[in-house]
């Protein structure tokens, strides 16, 4: 795995934010702060780049599922000295419930009871992610901000995002960083330990964790993704260098392959015939 220079990387990313926002004709950004490490690093970089007076935080909990995450988020925002009137919160539960009712999520499908439950849970998770982006972009419009995203390189390669949901943004300062590198920057930026140490979660259902869903860790994935996408090594050599068995390496790359369609839509036809 590559070794990044943390202070210089932070400097590059803060310059990127400052330049991107200025060139777009804006002064402020808004970040959806979940209480997780990605949004913590993203908003910390934004404050460094633009100053706390030009950064808005939006918390988007679902009922009481995210009470602990909200506590972590407020701890971070207090540390960053974000003005109280720039911290916003919207409970997305009423909006999500409207979609559940209109789309009849309770309707049974022919896949069997267990399959129905998992399929419905994923559908609701996607709705939650897309509702959050609707609210986030509406706040950005109301406040005259750009939306600063929180997606990292690992999530991008793994396709671990909801299209037109949590991957929607105006700028993505973490997109060139693997998850393990986000953790490194979090420590450098003095993100609170309770955020760094807790399991990563998209917060789409109770007790959901990213690594539990994957069946492998981010540390394992990052080694494989780096050697596959950046170094272009074959599976056998990746297994040798990472000391992971071929089955696990193949599982990680198969996950990427199954989600690759997310990176190529919408598909476009050829130019019209003249």
Per-residue pLDDT tens for 123-165?
888 999 999 999 999 999 999 999 999 999 999 999 999 999 9
- 6: buried, middle or exposed (CB in 10 Å: 19+, 13-18, 0-12)? middle
Provide the pLDDT for residue 120.
78
The contacts of residue 190 (CB under 8 Å, 6+ apart) are 79
Average pLDDT, the chain: 92
**CB-based burial, 43-56: b 16+ in 10 Å, e otherwise:** bbbbbbbbeeebbb
Provide the pLDDT for residue 122.
83
CB of 174 within 8 A of CB of 155? no
First to last CA, the chain: 50
CB of 195 within 8 A of CB of 36? yes
Question: Is the entire prediction scored with pTM above 0.85?
Answer: yes
CA distance 209 to 202: 7
DSSP 273: P
């Amino acid at each position: 795995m590559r070794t990044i220079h943390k202070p210089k990387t932070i400097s590059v990313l803060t310059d990127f934010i400052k330049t991107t926002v200025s060139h777009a004709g804006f002064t402020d950004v808004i970040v959806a702060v979940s209480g997780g490490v990605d949004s913590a690093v993203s908003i910390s970089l934004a404050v460094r780049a633009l100053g706390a007076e030009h950064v808005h935080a939006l918390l988007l909990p679902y009922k009481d599922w995210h009470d602990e995450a909200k506590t972590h988020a407020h701890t971070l925002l207090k540390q960053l000295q974000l003005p109280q009137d720039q911290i916003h919160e919207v409970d997305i539960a009423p909006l999500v419930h409207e979609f559940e009712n209109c789309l009849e999520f309770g309707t049974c499908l022919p896949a069997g009871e267990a399959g129905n439950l998992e399929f419905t849970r994923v559908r609701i998770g996607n709705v939650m992610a897309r509702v959050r982006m609707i609210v986030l972009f509406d706040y950005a419009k109301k406040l005259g901000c750009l939306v600063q995203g929180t997606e990292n390189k690992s999530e991008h390669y793994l396709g671990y995002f909801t299209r037109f949901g949590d991957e929607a943004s105006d700028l993505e300062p973490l997109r060139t960083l693997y998850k393990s590198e986000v953790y490194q920057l979090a420590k450098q930026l003095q993100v609170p330990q309770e955020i760094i140490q807790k399991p990563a979660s998209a917060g789409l259902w109770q007790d959901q964790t990213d690594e539990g869903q994957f069946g492998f860790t981010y540390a394992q994935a990052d080694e494989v993704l780096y050697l596959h996408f950046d170094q272009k090594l074959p599976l056998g050599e990746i297994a040798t260098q990472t000391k992971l068995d071929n089955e696990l390496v193949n599982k990680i790359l198969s996950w990427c392959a199954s989600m690759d369609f997310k990176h190529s839509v919408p598909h476009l036809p050829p130019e019209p015939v003249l």
